[in-house]
Copies of this chain bind each other. A is one copy, B any other.
Amino acid sequence: MRDLYFEEEDMQTQILEKQDIEAFWEALAQCLSPNDLICGADVSETDIKDWSTEIPGKPIGLALPRSTQEVSEVLSRCNRHSIPVVPQGGRTGLAGGAVASDGALLLSLARMSDIEEIDTASATATVLAGTPLQTIQEAAEAEGMMFGLDLGPRGSCQIGGNISTNAGGNRVIRYGMTRDLVLGLEVVLADGRILSMLNRMPKNNAALDMKPLFIGSEGTLGVITRAVLKLHPGIAGANTALVALPDFDSALALLGHARRVLSDRVSAFEVMWADYFDAVLDVTSLRAPLESKAPLYVLIDMQGPDPEKENDLFHDMLAEAMEQGWVLDAALAQSQKDALDLWALRDGVTELLMTTRPTINFDVSVPIAKIGECVAHMRAALEADFPEMNRFFFGHIGDSNIHLVTGPLPADPNVEHRIESLVYEIVRNFSGSVSAEHGIGLHKKPWLKYSRSDEELTLLRELKQTLDPKGILNPGKVL
């Protein structure tokens, strides 16, 4: 496995001598109040971890700045003393991007939580990095607007973490990734320089937009402190249906048809292969919404300001799809409760994970047209090599995203790597991505090379060297 890892010498930070740390700690105490600084031994076990399975190191402490100025002062001191820094949001990431490293200072944005402005006329929200996603969603709703980003841990994750990991979630097909929802950013660079790019205009071509350097860089190029977010018009609900399909080509045809007829307003298109669908019905007490069995199911949603008014359009779209033979059977939600029941099938993955554990959960993407073939390859290869394990496939296919859960994992510690190797090689053969939405962090570092060329990784290192020459920001993550 060694050859999959990159040389890390240039990124490595040295573990400091005791007196160095004391000098650093004194410097830090000059810029933060004692209440906002926690020393190594006192940092709680939960603060050193995220939602991944990565094993955390021992940090030298935890800083909780209350302003951009304080973040800047902390970083400039870390840089001067060559202290590595692990920026942290709500620590809900699944790739280990926010777990503590040995000898690092944890830099939590949690005390920078505020919605500074909702500007309904400009359709923007200006927020601090530590603001929970759900707080932003609710503030937008209260003004008749909507923030397009949504994901499971909405109550715990923070917008700064969402931006630094370019979070995906439930509505990417309609509203895009987090990157598409950020108009402006304020970022503190490794040396403490504050970069204010708080643009509020959809159109701004006054030289290169440098915000994308920090969106999805997982805290390795700068620390996000503030953002201007793009809002969308408020919605009242959704038209929802669960449909059964004869094959994957029909799912592609239905997707194209639905997007055309509904003017690109499809806000969810969740494909569930029969292995997943049947297993969820097995492990939950949910009622099957359709009578007959099919190889493939799709949950389709169109959010809007007046779902009742759109019922006919949505119904006619599905009727035409049935006529064409793309859809075998359909259950249309007649109420909010119906819709929730249909969504429960997709959310049944939680129970599936519990009853199948330990599992490996894949989050990969391949070009949309190739998803059916790619899943067939993965299923056949896993069945051949690991027949005793279950495999469940589902995904947001309009976003190119496939999720695969496989388990239970046997005790043999080599099996996990063998399965990852098998799956990621297939992804590579389909010119896909080893990480559709979870990022790289620590967990996917060995596989990054499968999706990015040597030339890209070289340029990535050059950018890292330019922006963080001492390599203090989230060392050992991503690269």
Contacts and interface: CB of A to CB of B under 8 A. Distances in A.
Nearest to A365: B201
Interface stretch (A49-57, A98-106, A257-265): A257-265
Nearest to A123: B368
A59 to B, nearest CB: 24
A207 B448 contact: yes
A436 B205 contact: yes
A123 B397 CA distance: 12
A356 interface: no
A131 to B, nearest CB: 20
Interface size class of A (residues with CB under 8 A): 35 or more
Contacts of A399: 201-203
Contacts of A209: 166, 179, 212, 215-216
Interface string A117-132: 0011111100000000
A403 to B, nearest CB: 11
Nearest to A165: B205
A206 interface: yes
A477 to B, nearest CB: 10
Contacts of A124: 367
Give the dominant DSSP class at A's interface: loop
A201 B263 contact: no
Contact of A434 (B206, B263, B400, B462): B206
Contacts of A201: 365-368, 399-401, 432-433, 436
Nearest 6 Cβ contacts at the A-B interface: A212-B212, A121-B369, A201-B400, A233-B260, A206-B451, A122-B368
Interface of A: 119-124, 144, 165-166, 168, 172-173, 176-177, 179-180, 189, 193-210, 212-213, 215-217, 221, 232-234, 252, 255-256, 259-261, 263-265, 304-305, 365-370, 396, 398-401, 431-440, 444, 448, 451-453, 455-457, 459-460, 462-463, 465-467, 478-479
Given A202-B365, A204-B435, A263-B305, 5 more contacts: A201-B432, A206-B433, A208-B478, A232-B264, A462-B466
